[in-house]
Amino acid sequence: MMSRATVLACLVSTSVLALTVATASPAQAAGVDYVALGDSYSSGVGAPGQSGTCLRSNYSYAAQWAAKNSPTTFQFLACSGAVTDDVVKTQVPAMSSAADLISITIGGNDAGFASTVLTCLTGSDATCTAKVNAGKTYVATTLPGKLDSTYAAIKAKAPGAKVVVLSYPNIFDTSAVICEMSSTKRKALNSGAQVLDDMIKSRVAAAGFTFSDVRDNFSGHGVCAAKPYLNGLTIIPPQNSYHPNSSGYTNGYLPALTSAA
């Protein structure tokens, strides 16, 4: 049986160890150089406080992660409307080669996200479905090469970084009876998002990066759900339409980045 002094010594040692572990985490986070690349889903469109031509918001998942983890440096390069070519030609050249952590959402604008949603808003079910199918064809034939080139450029610029590629959510709750789009249109758009995410996942694996899927986090919280994580059709400001709201970035995207990083 251990003496009282031995027990006390063990307790003190355990407490010191626990304190050391607890205080190590902020120091580790402070040693990270973080870069946020990508499009409007990374810049924070849909959330309050958007500013500048790139419409960046402090409620974006990237800015929230930086605020919570206090990285040594944070480059917020994500920009609304960005396509893969913008990442390669503008964002990657601007980022630090010493980056330790990089996050990105990209590919949605290449596949015609905005024009497809507009077609589905204004056209018939058949027109919407045809537009979504055209996007699926692009995703299957052209987007893979675009993604590969983008990921290669990121790896070449910051070969030591952990790169987290986040997916897009399914936009709509298809179970809602009353919604701004028909059930057929909602299912078509969600199927387009699924095809896009699956292609992104496959190219991320080929690049050796980390894929973080947000679809489960957004499940049950699509447009027209009781507690949506995405904005529906929005008049002011119009760019918020079909983008995550602050809850979507906080409860959908931020946990996905945190768990992957």
The 3-state secondary structure of 128-147, one letter per residue? HHHHHHHHHHHHHHCHHHHH
Mean pLDDT of the chain: 91
d(CA 255, CA 245): 15
Task: Select the more confidently predicted residue: 6 or 161.
Answer: 161
Helices H / strands E in the chain, number of each? 12, 5
Average pLDDT (40-64) is 98
d(CA 134, CA 151): 24
Question: Which residue in 42, 60, 103, 243 is the catalytic one?
Answer: 243
The question of whether 243 is a catalytic residue gets the answer yes
d(CA 86, CA 109): 11
Written as six digits, the tokens of 136 are 């699926």
Predicted confidence at residue 25, as pLDDT, reads: 43
Question: Which residue in 25, 40, 167, 175 is the catalytic one?
Answer: 40
The question of whether 40 is a catalytic residue gets the answer yes
Instruction: Give the predicted TM-score (pTM) of the model.
Output: 0.88
- Of residues 38, 39, 35, 63, the one with CA closest to residue 49: 63
Q: Residue 127 — very low, low, confident or very high, per pLDDT cuts 50/70/90?
A: very high
Write out the H or E segment, with its range, that includes residue 212: strand 210-212
Predicted confidence at residue 24, as pLDDT, reads: 35
Average pLDDT (141-161) is 98
Q: Residue 82 — very low, low, confident or very high, per pLDDT cuts 50/70/90?
A: very high
Predicted confidence at residue 31, as pLDDT, reads: 86
| CB contact set of 168 (below 8 Å; sequence gap of 6+) | 41, 105, 107, 108, 193, 196, 197, 214
- Environment class of residue 215 by beta-carbon count within 10 Å: exposed (0-12), middle (13-18) or buried (19+)? middle
90-115 pLDDT per residue, tens? 999 999 999 999 999 999 999 999 99
Rg (CA), the chain: 21
Task: Select the more confidently predicted residue: 14 or 174.
Answer: 174
Q: Residue 19 — very low, low, confident or very high, per pLDDT cuts 50/70/90?
A: very low
